[in-house]
Amino acid sequence: MNILILGGDGYLGWPTAMHFSQMGHAVTVVDNYFKRHAGLELDFESLIAIPNLTRRTKAWKEITGKEIKHYIGDITDYNFLKDVFITTQPDTVIHYAEQPSAPYSMISRDKAAKTLQNNLTGTLNIIYAIKETVPNCHLIKLGTMGEYGTPNIDIPEGYIDIAHNGKTDKFLFPRQGGSLYHTTKVQDTDMIWFYVRTWKLRATDLMQGPVYGISTDESAQDVRLTPSFHYDEIFGTVLNRFIVQAVCGHPITIYGKGTQIRGYLNIKDTLACVYLSAMNPPEGGTLNIYNQITETFSVLELADKVSAAAKSLGYEVTIKHIENPRIEKEEHYYNPTYTTLKGLGLTPNLLTNEILVEMLKTVLLYKDNISVDSIFKGIKWK
Ligand SMILES: NC(=O)c1ccc[n+]([C@@H]2O[C@H](COP(=O)([O-])OP(=O)(O)OC[C@H]3O[C@@H](n4cnc5c(N)ncnc54)[C@H](O)[C@@H]3O)[C@@H](O)[C@H]2O)c1
């Protein structure tokens, strides 16, 4: 297949590009280096220095003989995006190209506006580019489990049947994002659902939980292929942050009681889920929504697991509860369904002590690169 990956320089985009290329597909990636620029502005960087896309794709060619094409540009620029679609004629477009950080979206009005403009205009442009150039193309969009929030009822995969005054109908499950970033994801889902109904697009919206991990089968071949790995308060996901805290002697910081439960997955499973979605496209006029997690933990459970793994390597780790900067329920019901991707063939890489030790050992190799100042920046929701 012709696969177009938007956001192909990112934490998930680059490993996804290598995975599809390895599996024999023709891969093109697009990125505007938004995240690299945000890092310069806000003082954070990947733990392991990552080459730019020109160098990454060159290294991939040298190591595997396979080609990944790339374009540097902004998907909110419609003319640029449409040209890429015309040139690449994608069968599947995988959309990772968003501002993906909840704290970033809460820093200021300007950062909130940037998040809205970037995420919503980007998604709208992709929808138009599909309609105008490749109407049969399958759109795979990365959403987040955070769209659902933490309702006091079970969370199905995307839709709910509602009985009201003696009649029933099927609706998108009610969504309630916990940050402006999450709210843009809700709006993306709504917008895609509108155009699927109106223009008969084919789309899959993946409600993904926080991802952890630093290595994939493809990246393990050479350090130049390593995914970016952020541990700062703005772009680092929780488990990746805890691993770095454990290694550099910083307390593992838990927001509030740490009883918040979320669904998580290994980066290798992200690649598998996106691949399975690409191989199982819906009919036109259908929006498939899958919950992309493999297991659930409370934040406290994650901290305990990291602490135990670090202790087995001889590190003394402390866990510190700090005032929760977010507005979120700390004690809540959480029962999401996540069976469809397993039904399509996903065999999860669950979070074992062995995986944590492997991550700790990798981070230890780059311990000197850790900038302790970027671990905590004090961004608050209020
Ligand atoms: N990483 C996670 O744990 C996680 C969890 C749930 C959902 N997601 C979603 O998955 C997607 C990818 O996440 P990630 O962790 O790889 O983020 P990331 O920031 O590492 O990757 C996104 C990439 O998109 C690029 N980008 C942003 N706006 C762009 C634009 N207008 N034009 C071109 N490129 C643009 C960025 O430069 C970056 O390289 C995001 O949509 C995110 O919301 C991620």
pLDDT score of 45:
95
Q: 159-164 and 167-172: which strand pairing?
A: antiparallel
Identify which of 230, 181, 231, 233 has the alpha carbon closest to the alpha carbon of residue 377: 233
pLDDT score of 184:
98
Starting at the edge strand that comes first in sequence, how are the strands of the sheet with 295-298 ordered? 211-212, 261-266, 295-298
pLDDT score of 225:
98
CATH 3.40.50.720 fits 2-374, yes or no: yes
Query: Which residues, 6+ apart, have CB-to-CB distance to 249 below 8 Å?
Result: none
The reported pTM is 0.98
Is the CB–ligand 1 distance for residue 179 below 6 Å?
no
Taking CA 278 as the corner, what is the angle to CA 275 and CA 280, rounded to the nearest 5 degrees?
A: 110
Is the CB–ligand 1 distance for residue 71 below 6 Å?
no
How far apart (Å, rounded) are the C-alpha atoms in residues 28 and 5? 6
pLDDT score of 274:
98
> Hey, where are the domains in the chain?
2-374
Closest atom of ligand 1 to CA, residue 100: 43
**What count of Cα atoms within 13 Å lies in the side-chain half-sphere of residue 102?**
20
How far apart (Å, rounded) are the C-alpha atoms in residues 52 and 156? 39
pLDDT averaged over consecutive 10-residue blocks of the chain (382 residues)?
98 98 98 98 96 98 98 98 98 98 98 98 99 98 98 98 98 97 98 98 98 97 97 95 95 96 98 98 98 98 97 94 96 98 98 97 97 92 93
Is the CB–ligand 1 distance for residue 13 below 6 Å?
yes
Closest residue by CA, ligand 1 atom 23: 7
Query: Which residues, 6+ apart, have CB-to-CB distance to 65 below 8 Å?
Result: none
Collapsing DSSP to helix, strand or coil, 162 comes out as: strand
Which positions are catalytic? 144, 181, 185
